[in-house]
């Protein structure tokens, strides 16, 4: 039945097959060993490493943002608050189609074009992985409900509770407090990102910016176990954040708002300082803007409107507005002239209405055409006689003037916590050489003697100089902060000063050879207000206290030598700036004020009445104004 051949063939096939199967099985064994070897490598050799990776996967260190410090005024009125609000945020990692998600959301809640535009900007920015990006802030209860109901349709969409800075007094404090805003790429470069893990906001301007390091607090952490989608399953460990400190400012919100009302309609600035402490009582720059707009991100339209407004509401005139100080610096110039022994204290001139360096040379005009006749130092201050100052200024030259002005803080930044403050310009021979490559001419000294020419000062600098005058040369540190609110062991409120402030040097007291000079200088200022011929005698009427002051009028455009300034013929933009400095009561000064009204006209007619109202209010504690803006 079976041939040998077939058997042979069949057995040969069988043998070949068996050989190949054995070979295959050997290969199978080898490959199984490779797999087991691989598993051994992963699970035994590399065990530690993969355990670490696995823990890193599931355990995450989540930052817990600290509560930002609150800001109060001197009477404990809250100026900057943290309000709980709800925002809708999107997690890009979980959203496959962003446009579709935005579309769906916009059907549920009101999302403006600018929200989307700002959202897309934020999406482009550098950001931590799995960090949510906010789309709209300040959701209403109804909107939260509508999103919640539709959660299942919106993967990656969350409603997040957050504390958002709120400034209850809005515009009134924009230029002092500044505001916080979302941390942007520029901020990221200057901050320690570890400290800001979990924080979305940072102080951008003003007090918020200067005290950022202590207002912010210290970030806390929690160690959480999460799943792959980042959902927190349980908290393993936690370290609470340290809240930021609360600040108490010297500022009086009543005086601030009162001053704001007095300035209504003007582009103006008022800075009021308590000469005793250096505490800034009011710092007003009008017009202002609502800082709350900036907190969650201002829309382009709103921003453009603010930026393009001819009144420059974003411009902080009080600390950044550089004006020629005009005649307001004359008391200091008088002191410089006498204390530097350039002239004697009873130096008297004959004022024909102009001053000439040489016979037949250029005539430097006095503000009064016909002149003031015989003029001594007291009259020179009280009537603001330019000619007297031209004369002493020309005799002094640049150096004594600059030296004494600097001792009063001009050309310097002396206030601690107004981070945007500018230095202004205190012109010197070297300064002129460096910036203009020109020598110092005698005419420059003459211009400088009445606060014109190259001199530039801010209202803040003027107020500080006034406070130094009021203190008869004694410096106190000018600052907005009264102190950090702390608690004593007994649980009572106690104010302390942060290092930020104590590290800041206080300028040396004004060094005069003849301290008896303060009396006559201040008397000159008193006579400005109370003297029979003082330039501000009108505001001195009916005053229950004694005020020392000095008016000033700063030219905006040059007036030709023989031309007269005629406000009615000049565009309002080029009208003179009205200035006034003053302090009261003279015997025991409680307030020093500097007023600058842009294009206000005359210092005596516009600026001085404003200063009086501010002082009246502060000294009487009565902050009411009638409909005409007058005090009843």
Partner 1 sequence: MSHRDFQRTMPGAKAHFQRSKSLWSYTCLDAWMLLLLCVLCGFGLYVLYSASGQDITYVERQAVRMGAGFLLMIFLAQINPKVFMRVAPWLYVAGVALLVAVLLFGVQAKGAQRWIALPGFRFQPSELMKLVLPMTLAAYIVRQSLPPTLVRLLVSLVLLAVPMLLIMKQPDLGTSFLIAASGIFVILLSGVYWRYVFLALGAAGAALPVLWSFMKEYQKQRVMTFINPESDPLGAGWNIIQSKTAIGSGGLSGKGWMQGTQSQLNFLPESHTDFIIAVIGEELGMRGIVVLMCIYLLIILRGLLIAVRAQDSFSRLLAGSITLTFFIYVLVNVGMVTGLMPVVGVPLPMVSYGGTSIVTLMAGFGILMSIYSHPQLRRH
Which residues are at the interface with partner 1 (CB under 8 A)? 2-4, 6-11, 13-14, 16-18, 20-21, 24-25, 28-29, 31-32, 34-36, 38-40, 42-44, 46-47, 49-51, 53-55, 57-58, 225-229, 233
CB of 493 to partner 1, least distance (A): 48
Where are the strands (E) in 340-468, listed by range? 349-351, 354-356, 363-365, 373-375
DSSP class of residue 361 equals S
- Backbone φ/ψ region at 156: left (φ over 0), alpha (ψ -120 to 50), beta: left
Strands 246-249 and 71-72, by their bridges, are parallel
Active site residues: 327
Q: Would you say 11 or 561 has its CB closer to partner 1? A: 11
Closest CA to 109 of 139, 83, 74: 139
What's the number of CA atoms in the CB half-sphere (13 Å) around residue 129?
A: 4
**3 state DSSP class of 239:** strand
**What is d(CA 601, CA 596) in angstroms, rounded to the nearest whole number?**
10
Q: Would you say 51 or 121 has its CB closer to partner 1? A: 51
CB of 302 to partner 1, least distance (A): 38
Q: Would you say 62 or 605 has its CB closer to partner 1? A: 62
CB of 183 to partner 1, least distance (A): 24
CB of 94 to partner 1, least distance (A): 13
Cis peptide before 621 (omega within 30 of 0): no
CB of 102 to partner 1, least distance (A): 23
Q: What burial letters (b/e) apply to 276-311, b meaning 16+ CB within 10 Å? A: bebbbbbbbbbbbbbbbbbbbbbeeeebeebeeeee
Closest CA to 477 of 511, 508, 448: 508
Cβ within 8 Å of residue 159, ≥6 positions away: 86, 87, 88, 89, 139, 144, 147, 148
Closest CA to 78 of 293, 209, 247: 247
Dihedral sign of CA atoms 397, 398, 401, 404 in order: negative
Q: Would you say 28 or 123 has its CB closer to partner 1? A: 28
Where are the strands (E) in 73-206, listed by range? 78-90, 133-136, 157-166, 180-182, 201-203
Burial class (CB in 10 A: 0-12, 13-18, 19+), 361: exposed
Q: Would you say 222 or 348 has its CB closer to partner 1? A: 222
User: How many CB atoms are located within 10 Å of the residue 270 CB?
Assistant: 31
Q: Which long-range contacts (CB under 8 A, 24 or more apart) does 514-517 make?
A: 514/338, 514/339, 515/472, 515/473, 517/335, 517/338, 517/339, 517/345
CB of 18 to partner 1, least distance (A): 5
Rounded to 5 degrees, what are φ and ψ at 82?
-110, 120
Q: Which long-range contacts (CB under 8 A, 24 or more apart) does 102-107 make?
A: 102/135, 104/150, 104/153, 104/154, 105/135, 105/147, 105/154, 105/157
**What is d(CA 210, CA 433) in angstroms, rounded to the nearest whole number?**
34
Strands 268-273 and 354-356, by their bridges, are unpaired
Q: Would you say 57 or 341 has its CB closer to partner 1? A: 57
* Cβ–Cβ < 8 Å for 459, 465: no
Q: How far is CA 573 from the centre of its chain?
A: 27
Cβ within 8 Å of residue 394, ≥6 positions away: 355, 357, 442, 445, 446, 449
CB of 200 to partner 1, least distance (A): 24
């Amino acid at each position: 039945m079976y041939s040998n051949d077939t058997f042979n063939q069949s057995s040969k096939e069988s043998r070949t097959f068996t050989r190949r199967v054995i070979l295959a099985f050997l290969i199978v064994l080898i490959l199984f060993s490779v797999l087991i070897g691989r598993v051994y490598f992963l699970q035994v050799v590399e065990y530690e490493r993969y355990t670490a990776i696995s823990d890193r996967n599931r355990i995450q260190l989540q930052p817990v943002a600290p509560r930002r410090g609150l800001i109060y005024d001197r009477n404990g009125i809250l100026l900057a608050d943290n309000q709980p609000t709800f925002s809708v945020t999107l997690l890009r990692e979980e959203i496959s189609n962003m446009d579709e998600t935005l579309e769906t959301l916009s059907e549920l809640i009101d999302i403006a074009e600018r929200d989307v535009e700002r959202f897309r900007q934020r999406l482009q920015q550098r950001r931590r992985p799995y960090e949510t990006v906010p789309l709209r802030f300040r959701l209403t209860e109804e909107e939260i409900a509508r999103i919640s109901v539709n959660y299942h349709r919106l993967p990656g969409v969350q409603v997040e509770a957050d504390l958002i800075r709120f400034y209850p007094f809005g515009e009134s404090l924009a230029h002092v407090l500044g505001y916080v805003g979302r941390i942007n790429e520029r901020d990221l470069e200057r901050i320690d990102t570890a400290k800001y893990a979990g924080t979305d906001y940072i102080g951008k301007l003003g007090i918020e910016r200067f005290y950022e390091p202590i207002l912010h607090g210290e970030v806390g952490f929690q160690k959480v176990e999460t799943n792959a989608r980042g959902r927190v399953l349980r908290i393993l460990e936690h370290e609470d954040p340290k809240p930021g400190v609360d600040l108490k400012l010297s500022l009086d919100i009543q005086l601030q708002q009162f001053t704001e009302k007095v300035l209504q309609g003007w582009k103006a600035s008022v800075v009021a300082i308590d000469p005793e402490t250096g505490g800034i009582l009011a710092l007003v720059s009008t017009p202002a803007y609502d800082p709350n707009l900036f907190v969650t991100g201002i829309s382009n339209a709103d921003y453009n409107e603010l930026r393009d407004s001819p009144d420059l509401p974003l411009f902080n005139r009080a600390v950044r507005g550089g004006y020629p100080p005009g005649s307001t610096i004359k008391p200091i110039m008088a002191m410089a002239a006498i204390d530097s022994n350039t002239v004697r204290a009873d130096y008297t001139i004959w004022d024909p209405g102009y001053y000439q360096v040489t016979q037949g040379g250029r005539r430097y005009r006095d503000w009064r055409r016909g002149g003031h006749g015989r003029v001594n130092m007291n009259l020179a201050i009280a009537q603001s006689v330019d000619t007297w100052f031209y004369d002493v200024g020309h005799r002094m030259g640049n150096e004594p003037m600059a030296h004494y002005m600097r001792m009063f803080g001009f050309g310097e930044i002396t206030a601690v916590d107004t981070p945007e403050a500018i230095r202004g310009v205190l012109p010197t021979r070297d300064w002129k050489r460096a910036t203009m490559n020109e020598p110092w001419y005698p005419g420059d000294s003459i211009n400088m003697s009445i606060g014109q020419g190259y001199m530039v000062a801010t209202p803040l600098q003027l107020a500080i100089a006034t406070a130094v005058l009021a203190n008869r040369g004694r410096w106190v540190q000018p600052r907005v902060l009264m102190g950090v609110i702390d608690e004593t062991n007994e649980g009572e409120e106690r104010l302390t000063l942060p290092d930020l402030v104590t590290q800041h040097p206080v300028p040396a007291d004004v060094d005069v050879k003849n301290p008896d000079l303060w009396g006559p200088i201040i008397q000159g200022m008193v006579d400005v207000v109370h003297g029979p011929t003082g330039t501000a005698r009108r505001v001195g009427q009916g005053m229950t206290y004694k005020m020392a002051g000095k008016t000033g009028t700063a030219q905006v455009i040059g007036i030709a030598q023989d031309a007269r300034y005629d406000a009615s013929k000049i565009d309002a933009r080029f009208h003179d700036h009205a200035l006034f400095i003053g302090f009261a009561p003279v015997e025991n000064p409680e307030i020093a004020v500097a007023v600058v009204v842009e294009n206000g006209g005359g210092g005596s007619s516009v600026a001085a009445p404003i200063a009086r109202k501010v002082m009246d209010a502060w000294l009487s504690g009565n902050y009411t104004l009638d409909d005409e803006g007058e005090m009843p």
